[in-house]
Amino acid sequence: MRALLFTTGSPFARGVRIVLDELGLDYEKREEITTPSAAQRAEATPTLQVPTFWDGDLTLWESGTIAEYLLSAYPHRPEARPPLAPSAFRPEAEWQDKLTFSTIQTFGNAATIISQMKWTGVAVGDNAHLQRAAEKLAHILQWLESQLDDTGNGFQPGVVSIQDIFLAAHVRFVQARPLGVDLRLDRYEKVSALLERLDARESFKKNPIWWWEPGVVGYRPDGTPIFEGDA
Ligand SMILES: N[C@@H](CCC(=O)N[C@@H](CS)C(=O)NCC(=O)O)C(=O)O
């Protein structure tokens, strides 16, 4: 039995859902539209963060660990062009790939802190730490752009990597929300080309970014949010 606990809007969970679809794996979707109490969440993970993944007797949290596990535990790669990477980190570039991935996850953490603070009443312009988080996003994007060889490949040439998938999930999350952050993606030609290619991939289209803000209680089949009190 495989199951994933996630909130609808989480970019970390979107990355994991895309990896699951890339691998062609069925799983039970334990989807939460809003965050439950700490006590309820603690039943699934001590970090109180989603996603959490169950595979038989194994329980995993931390999206990067889940993605790394999936690539290693499920070696079959369904037909796709380019194919999903055989592993999270290439043996011949292990430290480079690990550094790229952890930097991408730091991007995601900075982005979700800006988002969570916004919904609890503090915007980027009101808080020095959030301004710093927004500056971090720009510096990380600039560095990631320098790590890509050309506009035709991702972080692991010839395949779609978890580095590619999670960067796309985090960047599109920032762009889809009114966070007061303009990533100015046009300045990053290689990153932009990568994200556009991924947007067109089946696994990305199957897991679109759904809008969320306080008051949203559900979605119509096309992803339009339903607000509390809507007919
Ligand atoms: N490092 C974690 C970050 C996950 C994360 O920040 N999840 C957010 C949703 S996008 C969350 O659960 N936030 C609730 C909280 O931080 O209490 C991972 O990679 O899974």
Instruction: Give tens-digit pLDDT for 42-82.
Output: 999 999 999 999 999 999 999 999 999 999 999 999 999 99
In eight-state DSSP terms, residue 151 is T
Question: Virtual CA dihedral for 137, 46, 63, 52, nearest 10 degrees?
Answer: -140
Distance 50 CA to ligand 1 centre (A): 5
Which ligand 1 atom minimizes the distance to the CA of 61? 20
pLDDT bucket at 217, cuts 50 / 70 / 90? confident
Query: What pLDDT sits at residue 68?
Result: 98
| Model pLDDT for residues 96-153, shown as the tens digit of each residue | 999 999 999 999 999 999 999 998 899 999 999 999 999 999 999 999 999 999 999 9
Q: Comparing 179 with 65, which gets the higher pLDDT?
A: 65
Please give all residues whose beta carbon lies within 6 A of any atom in ligand 1, as ranges: 7, 10, 12, 35, 48-51, 62-64, 105, 112
Query: What pLDDT sits at residue 119?
Result: 87
Residue 214 has pLDDT above 80, yes or no: no
Q: Which of 14, 45, 49 to mutate for ligand 1's pocket (most ligand atoms within 8 Å of CB)?
A: 49
Distance 174 CA to ligand 1 centre (A): 15
Residue 190 has pLDDT above 70, yes or no: yes
Distance 81 CA to ligand 1 centre (A): 31
Atom 9 in ligand 1: which residue has the minimum CA distance?
Answer: 10
Atom 15 in ligand 1: which residue has the minimum CA distance?
Answer: 49
Distance 124 CA to ligand 1 centre (A): 19
Residue 221 has pLDDT above 80, yes or no: no
Q: How crowded is residue 106: how many other Cβ atoms within 10 Å of its Cβ?
A: 15
CA-wise closest residue to 5 among 33, 37, 25: 33
From-to residues of CATH 3.40.30.10 in the chain: 2-82+208-223
- Residue 98 burial (10 A CB sphere; 0-12, 13-18, 19+): middle
pLDDT bucket at 226, cuts 50 / 70 / 90? confident
**91-201 maps to which CATH number?**
1.20.1050.10
| Model pLDDT for residues 81-95, shown as the tens digit of each residue | 999 999 999 999 999
Domain spanning 2-82+208-223: CATH 2.130.10.10: no
Residue 181 has pLDDT above 80, yes or no: yes
From-to residues of CATH 1.20.1050.10 in the chain: 91-201
Measured distance CA(136)–CA(114) in Å, rounded: 11
Residue 231 has pLDDT above 80, yes or no: no
